[in-house]
Amino acid sequence: MVQYLTYLVIRGFGLLINLFPDGFALWAGRQLGRLAYFLDFEHRHVALKNLELAFGGEKNGNEIRGIALRNFENLGMNLIEFLRFPKVKHEKLMEKVEMEGRSHVEEALKRGKGIIFLLGHIGNWELMACMSRVFEGNLMAIARPLKKNKRLDRFIGEVRRSAGLQVLSSKRVAYQVVSALRRNKMVGILIDQREKRSQGIPVEFFGKKASTTPAAAFFALKTGAAVIPAYTIRLEGGRHRFVAEPPVELIETGEKAEDIRANTQRHTEVLESIIRRYPDQWFWIHRRWERKEKDRTRSRMRRYRKLIREPTEPIVLKDGECARSPNLSPRGR
């Protein structure tokens, strides 16, 4: 029920915000982000904690709080722009986007092995969907589905497709990526979200280990595709800059596992360098380095309740009475 209401609220808000001119809509998005900063205690805590971890030795408390506030404002404006994508003509939208480094993309395509765009949640990353039309529909991306809210997931997919992006499904995604790259297409892969330990590789990110998807490194080694860091940066006046940096040199020693790890580390270092240049435009509210603390607490509590229901160790009470106590050994905790 909550998921359905969330979907209805976002769809309704999207219809409402499209009734206003661009300037007012963007202002409203910034105010929405500021409001979220002061009211959303949980995500504000996550953002401040992440920023302290990344910049604690370089920036003071006021600077960190300022970055966090601007970050929330950027996220609010991202939401507004995303909801307005279907109503804005592509030509009008691209008038607000300047491009830098397009020659890197064109040179890489001449090699005929495709391009892997190394992506992070920087600036308004959803603008990458609009880049598909700039590159004549040759851009596609891997996106994680919102499993807990299928209606909202379908809506987001519809908006992305309306902007021209081809979203690769989770079924046979490896085959789809390899096939696309061998046909000299471009595939965007986000590498800045915490990956499951069973599927990710621990690499250094701002000086601390972070489980990271090896997908970009794996596909680059398999196909020889160029790996180009790409991102958008928010400018003043509702404008954006799309940046494509020079390709990242591929490490190839013949040791497959080590090459995947080394390239994943290199890709992460490139992403970190971009974030350091634009710290207020990255997705700091994501728990990049750790799982949610209460998730571990709930897991422990479930184990405790199970042990309490199934006592194992006898203890002796006064007057010779016996009872059973729960097993609270370190393994049980």
With 0-12 / 13-18 / 19 or more C-beta atoms within 10 angstroms meaning exposed / middle / buried, residue 309 is: exposed
Concatenated DSSP letters of 199-239:
T-EEEEETTEEEEE--HHHHHHHHH--EEEEEEEEE-GGG-
Q: Which residue has the higher pLDDT, 216 or 306?
A: 216
Whole-angstrom distance, CA of residue 78 vs CA of residue 56: 27
The band of 310, judged by pLDDT with boundaries at 50, 70 and 90, is very low
Q: Identify the weakest region by mean pLDDT among 135-144, 199-208, 219-228.
A: 135-144
The band of 292, judged by pLDDT with boundaries at 50, 70 and 90, is low
Q: Which residue has the higher pLDDT, 313 or 139?
A: 139
pLDDT digits (tens, 9 = 90+) for 134-167: 887 688 988 878 878 888 888 888 888 887 788 8
Assess contact for 139 and 188: CB atoms under 8 A: yes
234: nearest Cα among 29, 24, 63? 29
Pairing of strands 97-100, 240-244: parallel
Q: Which residue has the higher pLDDT, 6 or 299?
A: 6
114: nearest Cα among 63, 189, 41, 164? 189
The band of 323, judged by pLDDT with boundaries at 50, 70 and 90, is very low
| pLDDT in the model for residue 251 | 97
pLDDT over threshold 90, residue 324 = no
pLDDT over threshold 50, residue 328 = no
Exposure b/e, 148-183, CB count within 10 A at least 16 = b: ebeebbebbbebbeebbbbebeeeeeeebbbebbee
| pLDDT in the model for residue 313 | 42
Q: Which residue has the higher pLDDT, 137 or 72?
A: 72
